[in-house]
Structure 1
Amino acid sequence: MTHAPAPSDPRPGVDVPDGRGRTGLDRVGRDLRGNPDVVVRDVEVTSDGWHVLRRTTFDLRRRDGTWTVQQRETYDRGDGATLLLYDLGRRTVLLTRQFRYPAYVNGHPDGVLLEAAAGLLDADDPETAVRREAAEELGVHVGTVEHLFDLFMSPGSVTERLHFYAAPYAPADRTDAGGGVAEEGEDIEVVELDVDEALAMCRDGRISDGKTVTLLQWAVLHGPFREGRR
């Protein structure tokens, strides 16, 4: 039987350091003042694994002026950045193919997804992060990058803000095999696709990753592959 900690027991990540040396994880959100219709009452740390799961209790003033008490769980994994690499002359994009267990356990046939290069910021700024991920995952030395927009991809439960970038590449820029960082469990295949084929794969479900679909649609509606641009 699992022993439930008594209220007086030191709580990892709250009162004492957790496995990553963090304390005070229950303080996040308590000082929010930007929305007068939201008053945070309590923050509980329900999981202090590599990332942090919290349950927050707050008062919410509805549009009719009445107040309700609500609870929400938030998954805090930090912010991330993603990059679409494109070759305008050859009309290609460079993507990754890798196994994603959460997709597999939620109905994807084999859990292997085609995606744009992406990763958590960790201690880096977003542009540094996308350059790092392009080198590690795709083996590409990236030159000038264009910042596109920042999106919350799953705002109902995940706190992550994802920074979107795009950059041109040429075959000569592929200076390494890529494949990810083996020590972190990554086993990534580099996939070069014709952009029209990539769009067809979005339509029929062969590409089902949200950030990648967003980037490909940007590329043909507003970016390098938009109609009339050559």
Structure 2
Amino acid sequence: MTRAIEGIDVPDARGRVGLDRAGRDLTGNPDVVVREVELLAAAWHVLRRTTYDYRRRDGSWSREQRETYDRGDGATVLLYHPHRRTVLLTRQFRYPVYVNGHPDGMFVETAAGLLDGDDPAAAVRREASEELGVVIGELEPVFAVWTSPGSVTERVHCFAAPYSAASRVGAGGGLADDGEDIAAVEMPFATALDRIASGEIADAKTIMLLQWAALRGPFSPSAAGSCP
């Protein structure tokens, strides 16, 4: 008798089935043919091992295997005060960076979270409210990136938005039920750039958004030149 497997034949703890189907219907690249998808783990997120045939540049075919970690897509926002030239970031404990060499795991980064069924703009408004108590008005899409394309499927939708004293209407801190304990960190934009160089800000999405703000965003030379 074949045993039913959670997440494939019967719902897992999150009510999901068919988790071994991801990638089987891909047709965008004729040089890639998916042969098998194995479900290795399905806790909160999903770990799969996929076997596929790949046609190399010389025309030969090779069989490859890759493990992918699927946690869904995410969204993040750089909150900035255009007149005071400050940014509003978060500080929280991140165990994965702590176990991989970060001095104390207390990570400074932009407000962010998984989409969890929302569209990216709605998700980032939710996260800014939960983590920093900020109600976002104008919201600017900046770019969407894959930060670890060798193994993690997550695409992060990156935004920027101005904030002010009037828009900081909540306590923030994150959701205690989710184990979040998040502090707000406000600092001059120039200080944030210096902390990239010193290694105090080491989060990829945050660094990209800060660099964008300096080169093409609200603190760029062109933006400064447009001010009256």
| TM-score of Structure 1 vs Structure 2, range by shorter chain | over 0.9
Q: Which amino acid aligns with 1:80?
A: G
What is the match of residue 106 of structure 2? 112
1:46-76 Cα distance to aligned partner (Å, 9 max, x none): 0011000000000000000000000000000
Match of 2:19 in 1: 25
1:51 pairs with 34, 45, 55, which one? 45
After superposition, what is the alpha-carbon deviation per residue over 1:155-203, rounded to whole angstroms, capped at 9, x for unaligned? Answer: 1000011101000111111101210011110000001010000000001
| CA–CA distance in structure 1, aligned partners of residues 159 and 218 of structure 2 | 13
Structure 1: give runs of 5+ residues left out of the alignment: 1-6
Partner letter of residue 14 of structure 1? Answer: I
Equivalent residue number for residue 138 of structure 2: 144
Tell me the equivalent position of 2:184: 190
TM-score (norm 1): 0.96
The answer to whether the aligner puts 1:39 opposite 2:19 as a matched pair is no
Of residues 69, 81, 98, the one that matches 1:87 is: 81
Is 1:75 paired with 2:69? yes
SS at 2:141 equivalent: strand
Q: 3-state SS of the aligned residue for 1:27?
A: coil
1:161 to 155, 158, 163: 155
Q: 1: CA distance between counterparts of 2:26 and 2:97?
A: 33
Secondary structure, aligned partner of 2:20: helix
Distance 2:58 2:21 in 1: 30
Match of 1:122 among 116, 122, 130: 116
Letter in 2 for 1:172: A
Q: Quick one: distance in 2 between partners of 1:23 and 1:127?
A: 28
- The SS at the match of 2:208 is helix
TM-score when scaled to structure 2? 0.97
C-alpha displacement at 1:105, in angstroms?
Answer: 0.6
What is the Cα deviation at residue 17 of structure 1?
A: 1.1
**1:177 alignment partner AA:** A
CA–CA separation in structure 1 for the residues paired with 2:183 and 2:195: 17
The one-letter amino acid of 2:160's match is A
Q: Aligned residue for 1:206?
A: 200
1:10 maps to 4
Residues 88-122 of structure 1, C-alpha deviations (whole Å, 9 max, x = no match): 10010000000000000111010110000000001
SS at match of 2:16: coil
**How many residue pairs end up in the alignment?**
224
- Which amino acid is the alignment partner of residue 162 of structure 1? V
Kindly provide the amino acid, as one letter, of the partner of residue 72 in structure 2. G
1:11-66 superposed Cα distances (whole Å, 9 cap, x missing partner) = 11011111111111001100000000000000000001100000000000000000
Q: Which amino acid aligns with 2:91?
A: R
CA distance in 2, matches of 1:40, 1:69: 10
Counterparts of 1:170 and 1:20, CA distance in 2: 38
Instruction: Tell me whether 1:63 sits opposite 2:49 in the alignment.
Output: no
The answer on 1:223 being equivalent to 2:223 is no
Find the aligned partners of 1:187 and 1:226 in 2 and give their Cα distance: 33
1:179 counterpart residue number: 173
Report the CA distance between 1:8 and its aligned residue: 2.3
